[in-house]
Amino acid sequence: MSSSKKNDVHRFYDRPPAVSPECFPWEDQAAVDSTTTLLHTHDTRDAPRIDADVTFNFDQVVSSNSPESCWTYLMNLEKRGSPHTDINLLNKLKDCYSKIFSRMPIRQFSKNTSYARILVRYAELKGIEDADEAQDHFIVARSNCKGFAFVHVAHAQFEVGTLNYMPPEAIKDTSSQAGKARSKISPKGDVWSLGCILYCMTYGKTPFQSITNQIAKLHAIIDTSHRIEFPDIAETDLLDVLKRCLVRNPRERISIAELLEHQYLQLKPQVSPGPECPTNRELQKILMDLAALQSPNSIVRAANNLAKMCNSGGKLDVAECAKSST
């Protein structure tokens, strides 16, 4: 990302509030959270009570200058569905976050736990459409709220939990149970993720890496009509493993037990090669070197050294044996 765009990201959080507050530079903040805090567990002790109805006027919430109130509102709003699959909800959420940052600049609220969670969640939401832009927002959160452990944990989880390795059944399904999100995770999901890793090791990219838009990538993963490319490779057994791991229907996907029995994973026992037998010419040279030794004791010592070389499996070095015998 260009330096001008990065500056825009920082200025986005740095807009002046309606009333100029005292600034708290992040360099002086103390480490206020030394434990790994759950990202979505929020403290409402100082927050005004807000009805769960998300139609509550958000402008009024923002005008309270209370990050706790804003965080409560945003979490209630997300209960309406999944921003990963509902573009209208995603846009509504991003609009709410923009209002928060316009009203409450990061310099004033960098020590506030709820504000730190707001920064993290906003970065995650940005990642739905643009993973690179999400990284920039995570940098802002980590730089200004580095005293909160969950900020750094969330960033690490974001990098690991990419859609590039997510199985279709693990994607939240909002089409049933009155739009309630549910997640399907099973050992078959691990097989899919393993297939993505092997695919990346084989072809240098994951199956859906070329799709940069996260929403489009999500739909491609679950869309059975979207064909996964498997270019020909020399190892046919590996190609078969890739194809059987990356089957969208988990019932038809290869199981872990079946995978362990697959031909590709059957390691053939390696037979240790024995010591190389010397050729006739090498034997002739050995005898000539031994015959050239004047002393019977030297011949015996050279023969002993040759025997040790044979037992160690190393290549016979007649000259060295003869040299050590003189």
List the catalytic residues.
132
The Cα–Cα gap between 140 and 119 comes to: 8
> Which is nearest to 14 in space by CA: 97, 95, 108?
108
What phi, psi does 148 have (nearest 5°)?
-100, 120
The Cα–Cα gap between 185 and 197 comes to: 18
The Cα–Cα gap between 284 and 277 comes to: 13
What is the DSSP code (8-state) at residue 231? -
What is the DSSP code (8-state) at residue 212? -
> Which is nearest to 236 in space by CA: 254, 262, 216?
262
In the chain, the N- to C-terminal Cα span, in Å, equals 72
Task: Give the tokens for residue 162.
Answer: 């990419």
The Cα–Cα gap between 190 and 254 comes to: 11
